[in-house]
Structure 1
């Protein structure tokens, strides 16, 4: 047995770093940093959302909202107010002003710390506002091990009681409530997540996202540059696994230069899709099947799980 002083047991010390050492100015430093797509993706991953059309310092009457964006695939507005200090009434008022001016559906308040009164206020909003409107209070931290670079951490303090339910309810209020197919898709991804959890400890996948009534399910694997996306398509009678790259043509070109090795690692001749608008890029494999046949779902789960692990191994060290 090794003694406690053995180098094998030497560990680094995890410590917090004051936010102002990295971002001295709230608007000029932190907001500009967070407004970059790869950085905002870190926050979005924690909140289980995806955004597009990101804009910074957007005029709202006499004031400017820090960040305004849209939920991907919809026109729902996301408002982000940043405060690198403890919450106060002034910023809470600004948050509500911006939300009103832009008719926001998702309102996010990033802070370095918070008072109990303001936490209760955000909880109250989530309890009494229509379920199509969601408030998040997020505590921002920087963590460092030894002399490593500081790493950001977004801690959700307040959120809607049932975030998945909120998304579904919002669709209902727009007159396009979840169809039977959408509900079936949500049940499919719930089943996939449960099936994957039963494979531990052998499974290398970590599924943190809450399944939603949609035809895709995304998996993060240690980078903000891309995600692994699993899909189900009953109309074209197939399921799929893909690497999804957004707004990074240089990354796609770099992977394409190594296409022969990647194709060999993935197997079965994956499709490389350079979409016309150059906004998103995909490397995808499909499996012909009948997604509506629930008796075959365990077989489909196994195929998706295997492919996701292959994609994860293939691309993990290529970023």
Structure 2
């Protein structure tokens, strides 16, 4: 077999901060250039964006980039992060989108956690055809000593781009088919947890949404959160979430437990602290749904709940007792 005479190089990652030192002063102005907005629009399979303003004031804050889709009056909101996604930006994109009635919302980050990707999938599922939420992972690459090239990897996008027409029929009680599917799925999940004798919800109300919250502490600080995302690339997963004013105390204890736990599957998990330091989470790898049966999916989730609870439930109770002065 004759080898190719064409010399091939290897693609190398470049640290985003080596390209753009500052998000507001370097990356946002770069992205706001017409050719770069066009590059982003093409990556989203949209005709193009026309800049309205960067750092657009919204009350005491500012939206990174506000545009319009070319040849229309429809606003586009773009929020940027040069780091991993955090919970703060979830609130920001919703607040800014409401301010401008943005039809297209684009969240750009260095990396998306599974929880935030699932949140965008859920927003796309419950939104009608007029609105679309995109999650875009930003990369910078080069070959050898070549110029650095930006890449936009779309990890979440509206349902209409990726899946057949969904069932939007609303039942007489106001529940959509999606609500009914969620209720049935999480009821089966509750039954499976009870059969295995694992931690469960204290109040068994119907769950219409994509997330099932299982408390580990009685003060509302520590939960195991299960999710099912049916749009885009369908998947299920679990993560440990630590919230509220007591988050620093629980985080200090539970992060130590994670490091000392001799449990190989736990080594695949990842801690994530939002930029304001108010929410901490430990996420396990998600499971792709593909053609799995509902029973198999629930089995995957139950196993992950069991893993998280076996490692973190005891230390959570001990940490809570210490704060109460019971230890």
TM-score by length of 2: 0.48
Q: Report the TM-score when normalising by structure 1.
A: 0.49
